Amino acid sequence: MKFNKMTLAILAASAPMLATAGVTVSPLLLGYHYTEGSKTEERTAELFGSDISKEDGLYTGAALGIELTPSTQFQIEYGISDTDAQSNGQEVGDMEQRMISGNFLVGFDEFTGYRDSAFRPYALVGAGQSKLKYESRDGTRTADSKDTIGNLGLGAMYRINDALSLRGEARAIHNFDQNWWEGMALAGLEVVLGGHLAPAVAAPPVATVEPTPVVVVEADQDSDGDGVVDRLDQCPNTAPNVVVDERGCPVQVQIDDELKMELRVFFDNDKSVIKEQYKPEIAKVAEKMREYPNSSASIEGHASKTSRSSATYNQRLSEARAIAVKTMLTNEFGVAPNRLSTVGYGFDRPIAPNDTEEGRAMNRRVYAVITGNKTMTVDQTKDMNVQ
């Protein structure tokens, strides 16, 4: 690869942008330059038969660039690394390395969210030429090489203001001709002449006037069959058999809905404790009473009769069973106590003979009747008898 041809090609491609791109100047770049010693020893040994290596040392340089976009620029950089040459751990001369390269600095603004931040990370890629020159202490030996190099790096700019930025960078340099790697860490100050390029602003959309649609009026239709044509129907898709008004909307009427339900709870002998199996039925009663706010429940308690039964005791037991159901409705399900009435009938009202165990189990019960009504508003149908 020939550096001069590459440089001319890059400059030729960038020429059309020079008129609008901002010009950047890095007047001083300072860095630490590391060289892969074993490879330089092989190279200098080929040149004049000595094991010579270049020491790591200070790099000084400068760069001139142009901004191609608000986040990308192209720079020409020139720098020198002037250090000692060593052989077998002894200083034997001077080693000077001059590098000139063209590098693209591509910002990550579009991908990292740093567009509005002073911190601007970037990636560097480029190529150029490296000239390595050796001269012994006594001036009797000299050697040099001209090699093509490639640059890869990561860095960041910190914008102090629109004209000044601090720059820091880590770079890897590959010598293609000698097949070795060099490394560099550098920092410097970048000056922008005329300010940075401004991001492109999209042109406002041009308002367009939509043509007035042409409405084709067909013969009047009644799609839902409610007797009102579609162009006048304010409630389309009315269900069949629903009475509608002149707008095509359902006519609503009020109807009275009656509630009547029964509850049966059975108890163990001589007990007034409600079994778990009856709690869901009691919960259903509470739900209906909430749905019908004016409903009420009449709760009757009953007991079974045996040869040893006491009328007074069984009267109290039947009352306790009725009160147990009322208490559950009130305390667990929130039904107001004044909507519930209780009464105990002892063993006076059996529903089965008391001379068998099965009959006595049927008589140990609570029987409740829940009644009420409410007014509902519904859509009137054609088969509804409304006075």
Maximum average pLDDT range among 2-16, 40-54, 137-151, 295-309 = 295-309
- Note the pLDDT of residue 253: 84
Other Cβ atoms closer than 10 A to 35? 24
Question: What are the sequence ranges of the domains in the chain?
Answer: 3-193, 252-379
Question: Which architecture does CATH list for 3-193?
Answer: Beta Barrel (2.40)
Q: What is the mean pLDDT of residues 119-146?
A: 84
H-type alpha helices, the chain: 3-14, 37-48, 109-112, 279-291, 311-331, 357-363
Confidence tier at 349 by pLDDT (50, 70, 90) = very high
φ and ψ of 17, to 5 deg: -95, -10
pLDDT score of 308 more than 60: yes
| Cα R_g (the chain), whole angstroms | 50
| Structure-token pair, residue 40 | 């330089």
In terms of Cα–Cα distance, which of 360, 359, 349, 341 is closest to 270?
Answer: 360
Summarised one tens digit per residue, pLDDT across range 280-304 is 999 999 999 999 999 999 999 999 9
Fold of 252-379: 60s Ribosomal Protein L30; Chain: A; (3.30.1330)
Q: Are 191 and 202 in contact (CB under 8 A)?
A: no
| 3-state SS class at 49 | coil
pTM for the model stands at 0.46
Quick one: DSSP state of residue 274?
P
- DSSP secondary structure string, 287-330? HHHHHSTT-EEEEEE-----TT--HHHHHHHHHHHHHHHHHHHH
What is the rounded distance in angstroms from the CA atom of residue 3 to the CA atom of residue 8? 9
**Angle subtended at Cα 310 by Cα 305 and Cα 316, rounded to the nearest 5 degrees:** 95
| Res 203: pLDDT | 61
User: Do the domains 3-193 and 252-379 sit in the same CATH topology, yes or no?
Assistant: no
